[in-house]
Structure 1
Amino acid sequence: MKRYLKYIWLMLPILVLAACVEEYSLEGNPPTEAEANFGFQPTATSDNILQFTADNDFFIMNWDLGNGATGTGKTVTGTYPLAGTYTVTLTVFNNAGNVSFSREIEIAETDPLLLDKPLFNALTGGAAATEGKTWKIDASRPGHFGVGPNPSAAGDFPEWYAAQANEKEGSGMYTDRYTFFLDGFNFNMETNGFVYLNAAQGSSFPGAFDPGVGDLSAPYEAPDNLKWSIIEPEGAYPELTISPGGFLGYFAGGRTYQIINIEENELFLRMVDQANTELAWYIRLIPEDFDPGEEPEPEPEPIDPTVFALQSLIGDGTKAWRLKPAAGAFGVGPGPGSDAFFPNGNDISEDRACLFNDLFIFSEGGQFSYDPQGDIFAESYMGTGSEGCQPASNLVGTPGEAWGPGTHSFSLTEATATETAKITVTGTGAFIVLPKAFNGGEYGAGPPEANRSVTYDVIGYVNEGGQEELTITININEADGIFWSFVLIPDND
């Protein structure tokens, strides 16, 4: 039986967004509310999934679907799992201005099938979890809190600073609890009296004080009747939003979080600093009753010099190496060989194929060459103007030109009973796998330092049954211990 849908027409004031249309000549007449009218109808999937269609075409058409989601274009689809009334707004632009038109959509019944989603179940425990699912900050794990650039450079992780285990003890961050309920999308925040916040937000919290671990803490009791919502933008991370008065872990001015990773026992979030939008903060949460253990990262065992020596690196005179196309072959974490910060166990070889085909060639006489095989994985610090896979020729004439194909020098320090083997490449722009990483830091922008030497520790080497792998690592933050690690295999193509 079809569910009953009704709507009420509403008209809102004209909203002038001059910044969006300043490149157009303001001549002629702006659109009218009538021209911004739209219709809707339920889809075959569910009466709670509606398709909205504008009556007319405009060069910009922006939708607010009233459920936390947005859209663009003449036709969009909105999903409404819960019964209720939602205000849907279409804003249209022509070369003389813009106008918004709204109508209220009433969803008569809740559709339980739309609530049975893996994302919702992981966050809330699902329909069977009548008491919800409670999360806490993963205090015992390095990297549970930190900051990096916005937009992200090397990946979505706390690239610039990552807190060590229990480093923020006493701030209030570790005693707070956050419960998500599937029923009614309710959210409960237990602060245990005080919370942790960015120093720039102190004026909004009476009684804010220095907790002795950086930034500020403040007395705070969260309001009742808080809600949560999730939208899933196409081609982007899902976005979790907490209603005003609530937040998670650390308050930096916003209540919307990108979900970088969610599993049964982990929720890893990214949020943009509202006082400085060039910063992105990260928090990692675990269920309240989950014990992650506190096993330390194992120290790498020194490589036997009889196993990995110069001949292993250069073969019969010249040997090319490339990244192994597998999970764990490229990543960054709090210890050698770890990729806990990024990509956290995911195989990114297909997403970054242009990185995994790069060749790093070692030859007798100490010659080292880099051959990107025609393409590179560019990031903002390289100066190409866009990120992602692109022709290596795009580096020409940029501050990152020296990171392109070239020939440099190398040396190998073989392992001893107490030290791992080390590979050092030297030259302007010389690197293995990741151009930006050097000992103790990362480049924020090109050009690279002239004739710089970069040293990588060899933490693993296997050559058995025709399978050969070389694992190297580099520490980019000596104070906090942040390591990039790479697994290389010979190029046999």
Structure 2
Amino acid sequence: MRKQIKVVTLLLLGALVWTGCEVEDPELAPAPTSEQVAFSVQPTASNPNILSFTSTSPGFKALWDFGDGATGDGTTVTHAYPLKGEYTVMLTIYTAGGSTSSTKKVTIANTNPTMLNREDYNFLTGGANQLEGKTWVIDKEASGHLGIGPITGTTPEWYTAAPNEKASEGYYDDEMIFKLGNTLSYTYKNNGTTFANGDNAAGIGGTNGGGDKTVNYTPPTNLTWSILDENGKKYLILSNGGFIGYYTGVSRYEILKLTADEMYIRSGSAAVAEHAWYQKLVRKGYSVPKPPKEYKAVDINDNFDTPGNFTWKFENILFNDSYDNPAQVAANNSEKVARYTRQAGQANEFGNAFIQFKHNLDLTQRHVFKVKVFLPSYNDYTTQGGAEDWSPVKTLQRQLSVKLQNSELGGNAWTTQAEVVQQVTQMDQWVELTFDFGAHASRKDFDKIIVQFGGEAHWNPGIFYLDDFRLMP
């Protein structure tokens, strides 16, 4: 029996091979015509502002655009229109042969005020009794008021702006005003300039490329807004290319947080599909309460032979906190010290090691730091290897700087820092340096200590050693 089946199979295969050149590929089914794409509209019995849409078209998928920024899918769908007006609804039908769309205008005779009395609408606008609407501004004091991350992620893991970091970009004076009324109106007051993503700036009259831009721009008038509930998420949608604060070429923002005082939104980028941008806004005149940091005096010491009572962190340098002492002599007989390697290049010009505390430092009773340092003579302290034009320092410096900063200020922490610089004249030997911050002992905002060898704002490399860093008793 098996042999007979094999013979028949071979005969069939042979026939197919013999006649294959004469068989034509079947054509795909034709796409539906616009006449075939039809739908009915019927107000629901409970509310004339809620419409039921039913597709009477052939096909396996029906997508809807309700004319107010919202979308849906399915053969039968419902959609709410709280505001009176005329809306153009578009149905797109997909068949095996392709897709075709058809539109129909629907009219909502009256605004339904009860449908506007929603928590999210009221948070955004101040509610029906706040006729002037609510004004939102960028929360410039917050870390991460502007951020970026992968479009597939949920946090701005690639970049978060430090407080006030964009003060010169025409970003913090923007005002976004949302009103509730017969029209859900949106007014964007940018005071002449707008901060734009460099990949999208051409969309508002700037030029693409070269990083972020401050663009001279006049926003359109008669903008409107809506909030779309979709798949368990809320989206704030603006009409006519409207946007909020930082321009990325899109008008749709996922609402991650919305209260009467704070709003956190997420949007895509028209030019770079894999990017997601985040913005934090607050009601104009509102400051987010910050719990005060604890203020206390603590011991600070690290001899590198045994674990210190803090953790060293560093940026744009190489730092080895367990390095063999290069000169184990009477001045410093420790077995282990820290090796601080300043790297060449402009990207490393502000490199440093630092200590970050979760509390603010009480220096009223103790404010003197001591540290042992070793500066090798083999470093090049004379060649000008490149520096910022504004910097008076063009070479590697024989010095150590200790700085106290308020990390809450982010990239602007240097503007209020206290700094003591000690020059080192003796090379190839251990020298103990003293840094007295008595003049700043009354300050209560320091939570960060920076240690920086060789100066800054120049691009010259160098190797340095330190040991026994401590706050004196």
Q: CA deviation at 1:44?
A: 3.1
Matched, 1:419 2:415: no
Structure with the greater alpha carbon radius of gyration: 2
Indicate how the Cα distance of structure 1 residues 207 and 62 shifts in structure 2: closer, same or farther if over 3 A, else same.
Answer: closer
- 1:33-89 C-alpha deviation (Å, 9 max, x unpaired): 343211122223311001111124521111111121111111111111111111112
Q: CA deviation at 1:277?
A: 1.1
- Within a 5 Å distance, the mapping from 1:442-453 to structure 2 comes to none
* Whole-angstrom CA distance in 1 between matches of 2:185 and 2:293: 38
Matched, 1:158 2:149: no
Structure 2 gaps of 5+ residues are: 1-25, 300-305, 312-355, 359-409, 412-473
* Whole-angstrom CA distance in 1 between matches of 2:234 and 2:296: 37
**Could you say which residue in structure 2 is the equivalent of 1:103?**
104
**Could you say which residue in structure 1 is the equivalent of 2:286?**
290
- Within a 5 Å distance, the mapping from 1:342-357 to structure 2 comes to none
Among candidates 267, 274, 277, match of residue 271 of structure 1? 267
**Could you say which residue in structure 2 is the equivalent of 1:168?**
166
- Within a 5 Å distance, the mapping from 1:327-406 to structure 2 comes to none
**Could you say which residue in structure 2 is the equivalent of 1:93?**
94
- 1:104-136 C-alpha deviation (Å, 9 max, x unpaired): 111111111111111111111110110000000
- 1:239-275 C-alpha deviation (Å, 9 max, x unpaired): 1122235321110111211111111111101011111
- 1:327-379 C-alpha deviation (Å, 9 max, x unpaired): xxxxxxxxxxxxxxxxxxxxxxxxxxxxxxxxxxxxxxxxxxxxxxxxxxxxx
**Could you say which residue in structure 1 is the equivalent of 2:47?**
46
Q: CA deviation at 1:30?
A: 2.5
**Could you say which residue in structure 2 is the equivalent of 1:280?**
276
Indicate how the Cα distance of structure 1 residues 66 and 244 shifts in structure 2: closer, same or farther if over 3 A, else same.
Answer: closer
Indicate how the Cα distance of structure 1 residues 207 and 232 shifts in structure 2: closer, same or farther if over 3 A, else same.
Answer: closer
Q: What's the secondary structure of 1:232's corresponding residue?
A: strand
Q: What's the secondary structure of 2:36's corresponding residue?
A: helix
* Whole-angstrom CA distance in 2 between matches of 1:35 and 1:43: 25
Q: What's the secondary structure of 1:199's corresponding residue?
A: coil
**Aligned AA (1:261):** K
**Could you say which residue in structure 2 is the equivalent of 1:198?**
197
- Within a 5 Å distance, the mapping from 1:3-402 to structure 2 comes to 27-152=28-153, 156-183=154-181, 184-206=183-205, 215-235=212-232, 237-293=233-289
Q: What's the secondary structure of 1:122's corresponding residue?
A: helix
> How much is the aligned-residue C-alpha RMSD, in angstroms?
3.5
* Whole-angstrom CA distance in 2 between matches of 1:43 and 1:71: 17
On the 8 A contact 1:231/1:239 being kept in 2, the answer is yes
**Aligned AA (2:195):** Y
On the 8 A contact 2:206/2:213 being kept in 1, the answer is no
Give TM-score scaled by structure 2 length.
0.56
| Percentage of identical aligned residues | 37
Indicate how the Cα distance of structure 1 residues 248 and 119 shifts in structure 2: closer, same or farther if over 3 A, else same.
Answer: same
Indicate how the Cα distance of structure 1 residues 160 and 81 shifts in structure 2: closer, same or farther if over 3 A, else same.
Answer: same
**Could you say which residue in structure 2 is the equivalent of 1:450?**
none
* Whole-angstrom CA distance in 1 between matches of 2:294 and 2:53: 56
On the 8 A contact 2:150/2:275 being kept in 1, the answer is yes
Indicate how the Cα distance of structure 1 residues 26 and 209 shifts in structure 2: closer, same or farther if over 3 A, else same.
Answer: closer
Q: CA deviation at 1:180?
A: 0.2
On the 8 A contact 2:199/2:272 being kept in 1, the answer is no
Give the 4+ runs in structure 1 shifted more than 6 A: 207-210, 299-303
* Whole-angstrom CA distance in 1 between matches of 2:45 and 2:279: 40
* Whole-angstrom CA distance in 2 between matches of 1:26 and 1:72: 28
Q: CA deviation at 1:151?
A: 1.2
Q: What's the secondary structure of 1:100's corresponding residue?
A: strand
* Whole-angstrom CA distance in 2 between matches of 1:77 and 1:141: 40
On the 8 A contact 1:141/1:294 being kept in 2, the answer is no
Indicate how the Cα distance of structure 1 residues 34 and 207 shifts in structure 2: closer, same or farther if over 3 A, else same.
Answer: closer
Q: CA deviation at 1:204?
A: 4.0
Moved more, 197-206 or 249-258: 197-206
Q: CA deviation at 1:207?
A: 6.5
Q: CA deviation at 1:300?
A: 11
Q: What's the secondary structure of 1:238's corresponding residue?
A: strand
Indicate how the Cα distance of structure 1 residues 297 and 189 shifts in structure 2: closer, same or farther if over 3 A, else same.
Answer: farther
* Whole-angstrom CA distance in 2 between matches of 1:204 and 1:131: 30
**Aligned AA (1:177):** E
Q: What's the secondary structure of 2:124's corresponding residue?
A: helix
Q: What's the secondary structure of 1:36's corresponding residue?
A: coil
On the 8 A contact 1:26/1:97 being kept in 2, the answer is no
**Aligned AA (2:223):** L
On the 8 A contact 2:200/2:270 being kept in 1, the answer is no
Indicate how the Cα distance of structure 1 residues 71 and 248 shifts in structure 2: closer, same or farther if over 3 A, else same.
Answer: same
On the 8 A contact 1:122/1:263 being kept in 2, the answer is yes
- 1:378-434 C-alpha deviation (Å, 9 max, x unpaired): xxxxxxxxxxxxxxxxxxxxxxxxxxxxxxxxxxxx997x438xxxxxxxxxxxxxx
Q: CA deviation at 1:201?
A: 2.7
* Whole-angstrom CA distance in 1 between matches of 2:281 and 2:194: 16
On the 8 A contact 2:200/2:208 being kept in 1, the answer is no
Q: What's the secondary structure of 2:168's corresponding residue?
A: coil
Q: How many residues align?
A: 290
* Whole-angstrom CA distance in 2 between matches of 1:221 and 1:297: 42
Give TM-score scaled by structure 1 length.
0.53
